[in-house]
Amino acid sequence: MRIGKEKPQNLLKKLYLSYYNIDPALLLPVDIQFREFAFQPWGSKSYVRHLSFDDEEKLRNYLKEKTPLHAYHSIAFYELPEAPKMEEKGFLGAELLFDIDADHLPGCEDRFEDECLIKAAKEAEKLIRMIKRDFNAKVFSYFTGNRGFHIRVWCENCLKLGRDERRMIGDYIAAIGIDVNLLFPEPKRRFQPAIPSEEDPGWRGWIGRSLMRSQFFREPNYKGSFELRSLPQVLGKNWKDKVQEVIETEAVKIDLQVTQDISRLTRIPGTLNGKASMLVTYIDEPARFIPSKSLSPFDGRIEVEVLESYQGKLMGEKLSLRKGEKAELPAWVAVTLITKGVVKPIGGEVIVRENPSWRAIQNIHWPPRAFGLGTFS
């Protein structure tokens, strides 16, 4: 597609339409008929909600016809997902949803670059380890196409939980209200609190795991059994403060408002995020996440005029752009910066690719169990 000087929004609309017209790979819930879908049109701050689709083909036709800025479906499943009021939908259950955003992480509040996306990926990996160990649940994780990750959790005992119970789970994950004095009661007489084991349940186990990896286990003068030493012996007089530091390090920085909301929407993997024009991308191992051109379906070169100075690494490309200058950029970077308002297009060529890098996704089914659809693995 050849492009010239044109309004950024007009170019982006054409690119989105081209992308959806090639029927890209999408990861849709296997119980699609029980989900509510929602879309945000271009130039609108509101959403078109309370939509339902019987099958994937009808959803794809909608994407081609309407070409939305954002595309979502509900984490809940309903008897009548198209009903206009929540109380009329017939709530059947809801997945647990966790949202991790780079802008909630120290040093990344106003930054959009690879370094911050990798920090968010590490938080996502911490969360997945905690979910699997403490809840024995199945997880489905993906990059949201802008600044963070969504982790969806399927737990048979969690489906009918309300807002309060989900808030409690969020508090546990984020270590809200964790009291060191309750985890390790004040010692009596000669007894001192023992170092927790990695196998201990809950936060004692996470503290034990962190200590086992810490400097105290590698002290050159260390003698004897680490497990038989007490917390004061290993951490010193201020051992409670140090345990609190361990808790803060191991806690996962999630958006608590998202986790407690049973009517929350989540992005559809394979669609485009209108805030950055990157793909909502399935990531099975966030610890191995490396931002690259694979996060965009757009290839080629675009000539741009820089509207705001930008310096950093974005999708693997080192950039140093000064306001007012002109530059030629890889299309996958340029389209994202156009979406962010950092640059505007003045020429070039864009190739729209289907499924630019996803591993084989044909055998991925989510959720693992759905009403009326049997069991999936």
> What is the third-level CATH fold of 2-169+255-352?
DNA primase, PRIM domain (3.90.920)
Q: What is the CA radius of gyration of the chain?
A: 24
In contact, 74 and 35? CB cutoff 8 Å: yes
In the chain, where the domains are located: 2-169+255-352, 182-250
What are the tokens at 155?
Answer: 């737990």
What's the pLDDT band for 368 if we cut at 50, 70, 90? confident
The stretch 172-185 carries a mean pLDDT of: 92
- Model confidence pLDDT, tens digit, residues 69-80: 999 999 999 999
Predicted TM-score (pTM) of the model is: 0.91
DSSP states along 61-101: HHHHHH--SEEEEESEEESSTT-SSGGGS-EEEE-EEEEEE
What are the tokens at 13?
Answer: 């609309």
In contact, 71 and 271? CB cutoff 8 Å: yes
Q: In the predicted model, is pLDDT for residue 262 greater than 60?
A: yes
DSSP states along 301-356: EEEEEESS-EEEEETTEEEEE-TT-EEEEEHHHHHHHHHTTSEEEEEEEEEE-SSS
- Model confidence pLDDT, tens digit, residues 271-294: 999 999 999 999 989 999 999 999
For residue 281, give the amino acid letter: T
Q: In the predicted model, is pLDDT for residue 90 greater than 50?
A: yes
Catalytic residues: 99, 101, 255
